[in-house]
Amino acid sequence: MAILGSGIIGTDLLYKVQRSVNMSCGCFVGRRESSEGMRRAREMGVPISSGEVGFLLANPGLYEIVFDATSAEAHKEHSRQFAAIGKMVFDLTPSHTGTPVVPTINAERLFLARDVSLVSCGGQAALPVIHAVAGQCAGIEYIEMVNTSASKSAGLATRLNMDEYLETTEAAIAEFSGCGRVKCLGLLNPATPPVHMRVTITVLVRQYDTERVTRAVRDAVAAVRRYVPGYTLIADPVYGEGKITILLRVSGRGDYLAEYAGNLDIINAAAVYLGDLYSERLRQRRASATAQLETA
């Protein structure tokens, strides 16, 4: 695999890929040799290039899949370029170009896509729970999601992509819940020490069964904790006045930034989970093709 984009998300992803069972990083690609991410990759012994997307297009033998951690605008062009050379792309930006995939909801969609959208950090944190609630309730009227992350964990591209973040996350929530009225807010908190990622979800719904919803939410949280251990339901859902309120905290493993930066883990751990699934499928296909050749 290759990582395109040597900023906060790209560098944290590089740390996580070192623990992957099926992937290794064939090249870490940015546009400035002097960036902190490039320095760390060099120290880890990972091949690097500052040749941007052109380097990857000219060296397709170095990787099978690309993780794009640049910016939403750049990804739109990258998506076309990698499609033209038949490469699979996982999009960490909120470009709204590919197929949205969340490991606990629709991981199998991965195998029908060439450009897999990881949606956003807020999306990966909120969607498993919203999908679980939607599966238990009829007549959801409105969904609101407020996500707070530490300012230090948001790179320049994240700040520039705030509008895209909101649009892409709202669209994914509407798609996975079936609710047409969705509002998202993304806040960056400059407090010191930095705050852990927090997500507040509010669902307006006419009828609900509190026991069933609580059980579904707990199950959804347990499923995400298998790949993000710091994903936590702060308390059981709160019910009242036609409203369900759910509070989540996401802590990270402290790979590139410290544990507060759960916003990196929730999307990058999902990306590695899906990348591992895809790479394993590729390996099985190759093994069965080789076996067929040998018996022919």
Ligand X SMILES: NC(=O)c1ccc[n+]([C@@H]2O[C@H](COP(=O)([O-])OP(=O)(O)OC[C@H]3O[C@@H](n4cnc5c(N)ncnc54)[C@H](OP(=O)(O)O)[C@@H]3O)[C@@H](O)[C@H]2O)c1
| Burial classification of residue 265, based on how many CB atoms lie within 10 Å of its CB (0-12 exposed, 13-18 middle, 19 or more buried) | buried
Choose, from 25, 27, 121, 137, the residue flagged as catalytic: 121
Q: Note whether 209 and 133 are within 8 A (CB).
A: no
For residue 7, the surrounding DSSP H or E stretch is: none
**Least distance to ligand X from the beta carbon of 212, Å?**
31
Interface mask toward ligand X for 82-121; x: CB under 6 A:
----------xxx-------------------------xx
DSSP 8-class letter at 296: -
User: What would you measure as the largest C-alpha separation in the chain, in angstroms?
Assistant: 68
From the list 168, 98, 95, the residue with the least C-alpha distance to 127 is 168
Strand extents, DSSP E, the chain = 2-4, 27-29, 48-49, 65-68, 88-91, 99-100, 115-117, 140-150, 182-189, 197-205, 231-233, 238-240, 243-250
Of these, 104, 117, 148, 149, which contacts ligand X (CB under 6 A)? 149
* Residue 279 near ligand X by CB under 6 A: no
Rounded distance between C-alpha atoms, residue 290 and residue 180, angstroms = 48
**Least distance to ligand X from the beta carbon of 22, Å?**
22
Of these, 48, 74, 110, 233, which contacts ligand X (CB under 6 A)? 74
Evaluated on CA atoms 140, 144, 149, 155, the torsion sign reads positive
DSSP 8-class letter at 79: H
Whether residue 184 lies in the annotated active site? no
* Residue 79 near ligand X by CB under 6 A: no
CA angle 151, 129, 164 (to 5 degrees): 45
* Residue 238 near ligand X by CB under 6 A: no
Of these, 165, 176, 273, 278, which contacts ligand X (CB under 6 A)? 165
* Residue 250 near ligand X by CB under 6 A: no
* Residue 70 near ligand X by CB under 6 A: yes
* Residue 52 near ligand X by CB under 6 A: yes
15-23, 68-76, 138-146, 209-217 -> range binding ligand X (CB under 6 A): 68-76
82-90, 206-214, 262-270, 275-283 -> range binding ligand X (CB under 6 A): 262-270
Q: Which residues are catalytic?
A: 121
Binding site for ligand X (CB under 6 A): 4-10, 30-32, 35, 52-53, 69-72, 74, 92-94, 120-121, 149, 153-158, 161, 165, 263-264, 267
